[in-house]
Structure 1
Amino acid sequence: MSRKFLETESPAWVADGLISAAQQQKLLARYPPEAQALGLLPILGSLLVGLSGLSVVAANWQGLPAALRLALLLGSLLGSYGAGAYFLRRGNPDLGHGLIGLGLILFGASIILTSQLYQLVGYDASGLLAWVVAGVALSYVYGSRLLVLLTVLIGAAVQTYCVESLGIFSYVTAWLVAAGLGYYWWRRPDVVTSTVLAVGLLWQAGLLIIVLHSKITWFFVPAMAIYAAGDWQSNRAGGRALQVPPLVAAYLFMFGLAIFGETDAYANILRPPLLPYLGALGAVLAVSVAGKRARGRLNSLPEWLLLLPGFYLPGGLPLAVATLVVLYAHAGSVLARANRDQDPEQLTVGAVLFVAATAVAYFKLTWGFMDKSLFFLVGGVLLLGLSWYLRRRNAQVLAAAGPVAEASATGPAGNLTDAPGPVAPVASSPSPENPPRND
């Protein structure tokens, strides 16, 4: 909820008696104007100042004496950490964490520049591992989402360097990101941290598949292990945010298979040995189902439909039909869950997925044997009809949610319980002095 939304909508809430004027002021006080922008400016400012200083030093780096180079590196590093700690003590966490993050960046730059200064040729990532360790440690010490983001990016950069330049996969780096930041996420499962960590772990998994020269479908075993971890998280928002990136990857893979999986040319790329692959994926599925049952989230089990190994089917029509059935079943499960939970956002997501599946089915199954004018006419009619149905269904969901929200906001006698509003006059009972009128 934003300050602008409250300023726009809250006067109508007061006029309708939903909240009192005092409650309106309390809500506005909870969201101070431009709080997010003010919190972002110090971080961006500190990064720009640091990058400016680095660019000046880098332009004259070769002409500086070795002792001065070391002094500049050490001074900038200690200065950033010291300034960050100072502003944290002064009650300015945004600027303090920004400077600590700048110090973390300078720490990695110092490792690289020192190795160049003394011409230290390394054939492993032992020096860069210290950079990842420092990021994980600072994330725990300061509890900053910015430091978590930087550490995930640093881990991805170190792993990419290992794969591209050294031709190896650093399991220690992957373990530091997965276990170190994974435990941090388990204790502090906010949405931003969950999403960033999931994307970083997917990147690590993709690089592992490249190094091992495995079938790319093995990628979904660690990807769905990340998804299964979200099932065990008690914080629903944090767990769901961790699951979204693996689900997006699985959906895009199935969507691409529906479009391009026409021949058996993909067999050497997608088809791992059947029993080992199904065994590994089945083990992850069992962990996911156990987590869903423990947290009461079995209604999200149809999301695993996207992992059905349809790529074992022969290309052409059988594969196209199978993938389209999966896409429709997944979209239908999202719509059914949104309707049951009366969730307008999930209803929109399900509608988009349904339209996407319909578009794929339309172009894949009708383009070859239908006249183009009739093709577009039928397609337009289908989309208009679907749009009308979804709008009507969305209106029904919102209308059903309205009485529920109104009933929860009222007490047993039908009056608002949050704040005393104007009380309706109570009709007096008939009496000899005030007989009932039959107008």
Structure 2
Amino acid sequence: MSRKFLETDGPAWVAEGLISEAQRQKLLARYPPEAQALGLLPLLGSVLVGLSALSVVAANWQALPDALRLALLLGSLTGAYAAGAYFLRRGNADLGHGLIGLGLMLFGASIILTSQLYQLVGYDVSGLVAWVVAGVALSYVYGSRLLVLLTVLIGAAVQTYCVQALGSFSYATAAMVAGGMGYYWWRRPDAVSSTVLAAGLLWQAGLLIVVLQAKITWFFVPAMFIYAAGDWQPNRAGGRALQGPPLVAAYLFMFGLATFGETDTYANVLRPPLLPYLGALGAVLALSVAGKRARGRLDTLPDWLLLLPGFYLPGGLPLAVATLVVLYAHAGSVLARAHRQEDPNQLTVGAILFVTATMVAYFKLTWAFLDKSLFFLLGGVLLLGLSWYLRRRNAQVLAAVPPVVPPASVPPAAPKSSSTSENRLPND
């Protein structure tokens, strides 16, 4: 239920006598009006004006004197921050944070253009790391989800540049994103920021695996460490949001094993040394179990089914059956948890996972039985068509029934006066 729904349908409820006006006002008080978001027109207009100015400057950049270039960079940077602070003081948080984010982007552009202007050493990434530091600092100062998103994206861009252009991994960048933004997430476990941070950290972990040229399954050790951090978060919604991207990555990997898992062919890519890998993953599992026990979330322990190292099995039928069993067990655990908690969203997710596992099993194990597949296809189409027809017919029948008008309320009968009986003589 929302306030808008109460405002539109509430007067009709009062008129029909379902609730009183006082009750409607109490319901409205439980859903205070949301703060009016600033329209996108001023923000889009500012962006277009800024892009126009940038295009003019870029077209004549090489012809401008060095002093004028620096003045333009410093002026645009200072102007963006000043305008953002001004609108924040005026109460326009959306536009203010947008301009602060624009200033952060201009700060990075100033670093790059200044390096080109003075022909600084191209393999020094200290300036780009300073860009990440500025993003972390602004995120703490203003507490904006937009700045968190920009900082994580900047960290991913800087790390990608280091890996692709320089062939090295910037541990300082990874530490700033993981440590700085991780502490921010711990203090402010917003669902959107948690998801963005987890995705950014997974990107950092993937680039580290690429630089180290390690087996790709080592990726799941830091990925599940991120998952374990979500188990220790007191805010359950924020913790589950952080765990979403690692679980998606683990599920996609298990899905790929079930569908294309010929590990004998890709053994040199998937199979790390057994004992070190299981030891590292077991340590993360122990940390996760401790967090679940401390926060009372042991019902989510079946999430770890997706991390069973089935890629050590030989390829072909054994691996296909093992991974399908894991997918079914994981889907069943999600459905069971959804029924216990009466969570419709989790119930939908569990149903989708179960159907996905069934589709994988069907196409992986019974694809050769074309006659059976056609039988199942026709049967499923008929059942779906029958269900649609019955629902439509039911809706038509209900629409044809006239609405039941409640009977008019009869005023209670007036109590009989006792004055007559009191004044009546006993012999009357």
TM-score higher than 0.5 = yes
Query: In the alignment, which residue of structure 1 is the partner of 2:337?
Result: 337
Larger Rg: 2
- CA displacement 1:326-369 (0-9 Å, x = unmatched): 0000000000000111111111110000000000000111112x
Q: Is residue 374 of structure 1 aligned with residue 368 of structure 2?
A: no
- Displacement of 1:377 in angstroms is 1.6
Query: In the alignment, which residue of structure 2 is the partner of 1:312?
Result: 312
In structure 2, the CA distance between the partners of 1:163 and 1:293, relative to structure 1 (3 Å rule), is same
- Displacement of 1:262 in angstroms is 3.2
The answer to whether the 8 Å contact 1:124/1:166 transfers is no
- Displacement of 1:4 in angstroms is 5.2
- Displacement of 1:85 in angstroms is 1.2
In structure 2, the CA distance between the partners of 1:364 and 1:100, relative to structure 1 (3 Å rule), is same
Partner Cα separation in structure 1 for residue 221 and residue 289 of structure 2: 15
Query: In the alignment, which residue of structure 1 is the partner of 2:224?
Result: 224
Corresponding residue pairs, total: 388
Query: In the alignment, which residue of structure 2 is the partner of 1:70?
Result: 70
- CA displacement 1:387-437 (0-9 Å, x = unmatched): 999xxxxxxxxxxxxxxxxxxxxxxxxxxxxxxxx9xx9xx9xxxxxxxxx
Equivalent of 1:23 in 22, 26, 30: 26
* Structure 2 counterpart of 1:127, one-letter code: G
In structure 2, the CA distance between the partners of 1:257 and 1:173, relative to structure 1 (3 Å rule), is same
In structure 2, the CA distance between the partners of 1:379 and 1:293, relative to structure 1 (3 Å rule), is farther
Matching of residues 358-397 of structure 1 within 5 Å: 358-368=358-368, 370=369, 372-379=370-377, 381=379
In structure 2, the CA distance between the partners of 1:306 and 1:187, relative to structure 1 (3 Å rule), is same
- Displacement of 1:43 in angstroms is 4.5
- Displacement of 1:210 in angstroms is 0.6
Query: In the alignment, which residue of structure 2 is the partner of 1:295?
Result: 295
Partner Cα separation in structure 2 for residue 134 and residue 94 of structure 1: 20
Q: Is residue 323 of structure 1 aligned with residue 336 of structure 2?
A: no
Structure 2: stretches of 5+ with no match in the other structure:
388-408, 416-428
Matching of residues 155-170 of structure 1 within 5 Å: 155-170=155-170
Partner Cα separation in structure 2 for residue 133 and residue 301 of structure 1: 36
In structure 2, the CA distance between the partners of 1:30 and 1:387, relative to structure 1 (3 Å rule), is farther
Query: In the alignment, which residue of structure 2 is the partner of 1:184?
Result: 184
Partner Cα separation in structure 1 for residue 221 and residue 73 of structure 2: 42
Partner Cα separation in structure 2 for residue 315 and residue 12 of structure 1: 65
Q: Is residue 126 of structure 1 aligned with residue 126 of structure 2?
A: yes
In structure 2, the CA distance between the partners of 1:286 and 1:149, relative to structure 1 (3 Å rule), is same
* Structure 2 counterpart of 1:205, one-letter code: A
Partner Cα separation in structure 1 for residue 217 and residue 90 of structure 2: 51
The answer to whether the 8 Å contact 2:6/2:28 transfers is no
* Structure 2 counterpart of 1:23, one-letter code: K
- Displacement of 1:86 in angstroms is 1.4
Query: In the alignment, which residue of structure 2 is the partner of 1:196?
Result: 196
Query: In the alignment, which residue of structure 2 is the partner of 1:252?
Result: 252
In structure 2, the CA distance between the partners of 1:352 and 1:387, relative to structure 1 (3 Å rule), is farther
- Displacement of 1:99 in angstroms is 0.9
Query: Counterpart of 1:20 in 2: which secondary structure?
Result: helix
Matching of residues 84-163 of structure 1 within 5 Å: 84-163=84-163
Query: Counterpart of 1:91 in 2: which secondary structure?
Result: coil
Partner Cα separation in structure 2 for residue 268 and residue 212 of structure 1: 15
- CA displacement 1:145-177 (0-9 Å, x = unmatched): 111111001000000000000000000000000
Query: Counterpart of 2:121 in 1: which secondary structure?
Result: coil
The answer to whether the 8 Å contact 1:221/1:281 transfers is yes
Greater mean deviation of Cα atoms: 74-83 or 42-51: 42-51
- CA displacement 1:187-218 (0-9 Å, x = unmatched): 00011110110111011011101111111111
**TM-score for the superposition, normalised by structure 1:** 0.82
The answer to whether the 8 Å contact 1:104/1:135 transfers is yes
Higher relative contact order (CA 8 A, sep 6+): 1
* Structure 2 counterpart of 1:57, one-letter code: V
Partner Cα separation in structure 2 for residue 199 and residue 329 of structure 1: 26
Partner Cα separation in structure 1 for residue 350 and residue 386 of structure 2: 15
Q: Pairwise CA RMSD of aligned residues?
A: 2.7
Q: Percent identity?
A: 78
The answer to whether the 8 Å contact 2:226/2:243 transfers is yes
* Structure 2 counterpart of 1:276, one-letter code: P
The answer to whether the 8 Å contact 1:156/1:203 transfers is yes
* Structure 1 counterpart of 2:147, one-letter code: L
- Displacement of 1:65 in angstroms is 1.0
